[in-house]
Amino acid sequence: MSKMQNVRGTYDLYGTPKRKAKKVIELASHTVEKYGFEEIETPIFEFTEVFARNLGDTSDIVTKEMYTFQDRGGESLTLRPEGTAGVVRSFISEGMQQNLPLKFYYHGPMFRYERPQKGRQRQFTQFGVEMLGINTPQADIEAIAMAYDFLKELGLEKNVVVEINSLGDSESRNVYREKLVAYLKAHIGDLSAESIERLERNPLRVLDSKEECDKVVVASAPLYSDSLNEASKAFFEDVLKGLDLLGIPYRVNERLVRGLDYYAHTVFEFVTDELGAQGTVLAGGRYDGLVKEMGGGDVSGIGWACGVERLSMLLKEDVLPPSPIAVIEVGDDVHDISLQIAHNLRNAGFCVEHPYSGNLKKRMMKANKANAYLAVILGSDELSGGNVTLKDLNTGAQREVKLENLLKEVK
């Protein structure tokens, strides 16, 4: 196989797909900034422990999907498979504990060695948000409302449904864990070898298994809601009440569970049936134990993330590049002045297309191909009188204007 092609699971993003991805990021950034979020950028790679400690040594990401390598100094480093761990690591290492609460958003490439499929690649772009230091239901409501507002900005609110569930507090989780272990041990002969191993180390991971035999067993597993204590039930009811007040539609899914121990209370996913079997386009939850698990203080957190490329695939309409003004020169003797005009228009904030060669007809064809809406035509005769021609490329109407008034006339 020739090495002069992209690696499997990666892609070259340009043209319409790139413009759609850019629109997703711009609208997401605009939406979350209205909620008071500030952008943060963390390194593309971290010490492996940052992710192994965060995601758990029994998770698929850690055991099967991380791109881990040893650098020249002998340190084990990993390309980031998700964004939360880096943000929490930054929170701890940069000493941000005195500035709580904090609201961050981020976007950038993530890396996972998984089987490429529709909307899922080994290098992908993720947009995410993290709220640290807010332990009330209001944060959960705000996180989901913000995600819904963002998808609404994209015009996707009718194409996706938010599924939501509660994992309760640590007390509720321990009660459920005991029930789950007892149930799974009673069906241990029907579980995969991997799930049997997880049963001893992290039984909640069995609920995330992709093996068909495990799915059959999990389908009849105890429901989490039956293990919630009164405080956890009240917390979840407040979250649902808030969503009702804001008019945000949702569907309670009692089978929706996150397998990592630091998740608590609210978990949610925005799902669609337009991307095949892998229908989640945005997911999140409360992770009140994560900061402590990573060596920080007892700080609550909640966040969500989405795959930018997966979301952009749902956009129905093309995203066109900005329509430019075309500067068309007729004759070589006007080249210098046309360069100056194009430069001045760009400095004034306009997008300008300046065809490099060809006669008038070919240059106009290039202007139409670039979807230009206005042409500034420079010919020797007009310029000798201090004039240029402005042509509306939508209507065909044209008129001569004084060169000294060009910028004013264009505006």
Mean pLDDT along residues 372-395: 86
- Averaged pLDDT of the chain: 89
Question: Do residues 122 and 243 both lie within one domain?
Answer: yes
Mean pLDDT along residues 173-199: 90
Q: Is residue 189 situated within a structural domain? A: no
Beta bridge partners of 392: 374
What pLDDT is attached to residue 379?
A: 84
Mean pLDDT along residues 286-314: 92
Question: Do residues 333 and 401 both lie within one domain?
Answer: yes
Question: Do residues 141 and 240 both lie within one domain?
Answer: yes
Decide which of 278, 312, 346 is a domain's last residue: 312
Is the pLDDT at 219 greater than 60? The verdict is: yes
Decide which of 291, 312, 333 is a domain's last residue: 312
Q: Which span out of 7-11, 106-110, 394-398 was modeled with the highest average pLDDT?
A: 106-110
Is the pLDDT at 1 greater than 70? The verdict is: no
pLDDT band at 154 (very low <50, low <70, confident <90, very high): very high
**Encoded amino acid at 362, one letter:** K
Mean pLDDT along residues 388-408: 87
Is the pLDDT at 30 greater than 90? The verdict is: yes
Question: Do residues 302 and 367 both lie within one domain?
Answer: no
Exposure string for 19-41, b = 16+ CB within 10 A, e = fewer: bbbebbbebbbebbeebebeebe
Is the pLDDT at 197 greater than 80? The verdict is: yes
What pLDDT is attached to residue 141?
A: 98
Mean pLDDT along residues 118-123: 76
pLDDT band at 237 (very low <50, low <70, confident <90, very high): very high
Question: Do residues 255 and 287 both lie within one domain?
Answer: yes
Decide which of 312, 334, 360 is a domain's last residue: 312
What pLDDT is attached to residue 83?
A: 94
Is the pLDDT at 269 greater than 70? The verdict is: yes
Question: Do residues 243 and 377 both lie within one domain?
Answer: no
CATH number of the domain residue 396 falls in: 3.40.50.800
pLDDT band at 164 (very low <50, low <70, confident <90, very high): very high
Residue scoring higher pLDDT (207 or 38): 38
Residue scoring higher pLDDT (306 or 379): 306
Domain limits for position 105: 15-169+229-312
3-class state of residue 255 by DSSP? coil
Q: Contact at 8 Å (CB) between 43 and 93? A: no
Q: The tokens of 406 are what?
A: 């060009």
3-class state of residue 18 by DSSP? helix
Question: Do residues 299 and 330 both lie within one domain?
Answer: no
The total number of structural domains in the chain stands at 2
Question: Do residues 24 and 93 both lie within one domain?
Answer: yes
**Encoded amino acid at 153, one letter:** E
pLDDT band at 300 (very low <50, low <70, confident <90, very high): very high
Mean pLDDT along residues 110-127: 82
Q: Is residue 196 situated within a structural domain? A: no
Please state, in angstroms and rounded to a whole number, the distance separating the CA atoms of residues 330 and 270.
55
Question: Do residues 276 and 343 both lie within one domain?
Answer: no
Exposure string for 74-105, b = 16+ CB within 10 A, e = fewer: eeebbbbbbbbbbbbbbbbeeebeeeeebbbb
CATH number of the domain residue 292 falls in: 3.30.930.10
Question: Do residues 278 and 343 both lie within one domain?
Answer: no
Question: Do residues 145 and 239 both lie within one domain?
Answer: yes
What is the residue-wise DSSP string for 375-407? EEEEEHHHHHTTEEEEEETTT--EEEEEGGGHH
Question: Do residues 305 and 331 both lie within one domain?
Answer: no
Q: Is residue 372 situated within a structural domain? A: yes
| pTM for this entry | 0.86
Q: Is residue 216 situated within a structural domain? A: no
